[in-house]
Amino acid sequence: MEFFQHILLGFETAVSLQNLAYCFLGVLVGTAIGVLPGLGPTATIAMLLPITYGLQPEAALIMLAGIYYGSQYGGSTTAILVNLPGEVSSVVTCLDGYQMARKGRAGTALAVAALGSFFAGTVATVLIAAFAPLLTSFAFEFGPTEYFSLMLLGLIGAVVLAHGSLVKAIAMVLLGLLLGLIGTDVNSGVQRFTFGLADLTDGIDVVGVAMGAFAFTEIIRNLEKREAREILINKVRGLMLTRSEVREAAPAVLRGTALGSILGVLPGGGSLLGAFASYAVEKKLSKTPERFGTGEIKGVAGPESANNAGAQTSFIPMLTLGIPATAVMALMMGAMMIHNIQPGPGVMTSNPALFWGLIASMWIGNAMLVVLNLPLIGLWIKLLSVPYKVLYPAILIFCVIGSFSINNSVFDIYVAAFFGLVGYVFSKLKCEPAPLLLGFVIGPLLEENFRRAMLLSRGDGTVFFTEPLSAIMLAMAAGLVLLLALPTIRKEREQVFVEEE
């Protein structure tokens, strides 16, 4: 009974005129960003964070969440029609989606992607509503010792389960942790790594780091690329699925939803891990694996369902434990901190309208996306034809205005520009910026809980191993590191990185 009261509270919050408008705006912008290759939700949310200063917390988070899961829908449109992943998790969709479009089945591919994503998003939202309160109740048993171990497990998990070089990922996390230490120490009042600059007394704002490392860097990277887009405009027809197509795609949608929902909760999982895993599973289970890569409908249905389910279940650790599973979730935590809301188990009790309103808005947002995507295919095709040389100056101006508006300070523009250049150098070195952002956001919380634990234990470091929950989580972290030593796992990790590139 209490569960239904919470859901009712959520819908009362989500269906207010203001929140409905921002939900619609979020999913519309998210779809457009997903359609446009080279931006993605992380860069977009980083750009829009300054706007949330003037919004109610519920409206801000509903809009940002809509951008995230909306981009999963939009990414499939570009993958199918142009053979370019509009969003990273849509890389796999290119393999069969574009081949379906070349065979005149673009409408079928777009329809199965939209409907599979809607089903997966709806199921994932139910899972959030069902399991989030249980995890929140469990999290209230945590003290500073357990929180430190949990955050350490989250960071290691994000590194191990992500793609690319392990050494580079660890280096980026450590750099993020160091950047998080800049500013005034809360306990002693001593300034750390400020180099005598008054602007660094309060530390670096997460908006500047995110906007530079993602938005500015993406602009520079995409200006290097040649525009070569073959858009299959005249072949978008047949947006209604036949019964045989539904029967063929349904099992893949169910498996993709289940797989994406589970992997989305893991640190570093999100939508990308689920999409790749779903494609591998469908190809493994298929009686005709040779058809994959030539226009197999299961190669679109499974990954598209998995990436949307994973995008939404990645909210679970952020809302309940205060641990961001992905870079986008780290930005969502930043948005909550902007409004003086401490992410973690206290959110559900101190801000129930925010917690349940966000969950209810996901149901509404997914319904909006189905209504938006298929009828507006023509609009998205026209958007794809807009030259990058027109888009990027406008995006850059918007970024500069957003950076300045954080504290009405030119210094924040310099910070964003600096991290834009640094991020570009990192991209050339094949270093992903997501671990850096995770380390930057979690770093201060990690330090705070470590120091609290040491104060309570009077300097006894063994407390992290004598407390049962803390010891279990540290053992899990060690197990993840050992898991990566397996040759098969290491090979798969490198293969995912190569395919995404």
In tens digits, what is the pLDDT along the chain, a chain of 501 residues? 677 788 888 888 888 899 999 999 998 888 887 777 666 777 778 777 777 777 888 898 899 888 888 887 777 777 777 776 656 667 778 888 888 887 877 778 888 888 888 888 888 888 888 887 777 777 777 788 888 888 888 788 777 766 667 778 888 888 988 888 888 887 777 888 888 888 888 888 777 787 788 778 877 877 776 655 555 555 556 567 778 888 888 888 999 898 888 877 776 556 667 787 888 888 888 888 888 878 888 888 888 888 888 888 888 888 887 777 777 888 888 888 878 887 777 788 788 888 889 888 988 988 888 777 767 777 777 776 666 677 777 777 777 877 777 677 888 888 888 988 998 898 888 887 878 888 888 888 888 888 888 888 888 888 888 888 889 888 988 887 777 666 555 555 555 444 444
Q: Which residues pair with 192 in a beta bridge?
A: 183
Instruction: Give residue 304's pLDDT.
Output: 87
Instruction: Give residue 312's pLDDT.
Output: 83
Instruction: Give residue 234's pLDDT.
Output: 52
Spell 473-493 as b/e; 16+ CB within 10 A means b.
Answer: bbeebeebeeeeeeeeeeeeb
Q: Burial, 396: exposed, middle or buried (Cβ in 10 Å; 0-12, 13-18, 19+)?
A: middle
Instruction: Give residue 496's pLDDT.
Output: 46
Instruction: Give residue 23's pLDDT.
Output: 92
- pTM of the predicted model as reported, rounded to 2 decimal places: 0.74
Instruction: Give residue 227's pLDDT.
Output: 56
How far apart are alpha carbons 40 and 283 in whole angstroms?
A: 27
Enclosing H/E stretch for 278: helix 270-285
Enclosing H/E stretch for 192: strand 191-192
Q: Return the percent helix, strand and coil in the chain, to nearest 5.
A: 75, 0, 20
Instruction: Give residue 86's pLDDT.
Output: 59
Query: Are the beta carbons of 286 and 251 closer than 8 angstroms?
Result: no
- Span 364-407, pLDDT tens digits: 988 888 777 767 777 777 776 666 677 777 777 777 877 777 67
- One-letter amino acid of 48: L
Instruction: Give residue 85's pLDDT.
Output: 62
Instruction: Give residue 212's pLDDT.
Output: 82
Token pair recorded at residue 319: 């809302």
Token pair recorded at residue 181: 């230490």
